[in-house]
Amino acid sequence: MKFDELMQARRSVRKYQPKAVEPEKLQALIEAVRMAPSASNSQPWKLILVDDPAIRQQVARATFDKILSFNQFAMEAPVIAVLAVEKHSLLTQVAGWLKDRPFYLIDIGIAAEQFCLQATELGLGTCMLGYFDEDEIKKILKIPRAIRVALVITVGYEAENQPIHAKVRKAADGMSSRNRY
Ligand SMILES: Cc1cc2nc3c(=O)[nH]c(=O)nc-3n(C[C@H](O)[C@H](O)[C@H](O)COP(=O)(O)O)c2cc1C
């Protein structure tokens, strides 16, 4: 797939087939995160791929609750990726603090998009989830208390016959400008 086609093809997938994801595809997803750029090359991530059915269901259950249940579809995803914030270099910590800019979150966002684009290229669907019970996920996956969980991503083969909605995006001249704000 050419890059522009890949970009257009990636979209959030919220309905999955029960089919497992092949180990070599999971390896390619790890590589996509591993190769992502990061501030001062500090690579502030740990990618946890959860495909054990019992653990996966527990993690999925931690992405919705009675108040906001829109992530219930995570229960069907055959793989759930969890991106935790690994220790980042002192340089990025100081620079981030001085400039009031959370570089590690920018880095994780880039890595997450690389993950999702690679998944699309491999015929897999993904959905990034920002709404989850962080403490619960940390407990399930034995993530140390001091480590934050930044993002959860569901992964799997999209269920067949899903209606494909047009991407709703701001018009180019509304979200970009030249030479001034
Ligand atoms: C940081 C972040 C958090 C998100 N959290 C959720 C979420 O909790 N649940 C969900 O269904 N989608 C979530 N999304 C997916 C967005 O809703 C989706 O990317 C957006 O509507 C654009 O649609 P598209 O991905 O199909 O292009 C999240 C996306 C991002 C980047």
167: pLDDT strictly greater than 90: no
104: left (phi over 0), alpha (psi -120 to 50) or beta: alpha
Can you list the alpha helix ranges (DSSP code H) found in the chain?
Answer: 3-9, 23-34, 53-61, 90-98, 103-121, 134-141, 172-175
**64 contact partners, CB below 8 Å, separation of at least 6:** 70, 71, 72, 74, 131
pLDDT per position as a tens digit, 67-109 = 999 999 999 999 999 999 998 788 888 888 999 999 999 999 9
Ligand 1 near 106 CB (within 6 A): no
What superfamily does domain 3-159 belong to in CATH?
A: NADH Oxidase (3.40.109.10)
Pocket perturbation via mutation, ligand 1, pick of 10, 11, 12, 120 by most ligand atoms within 8 A of CB: 12
Ligand 1 near 13 CB (within 6 A): no
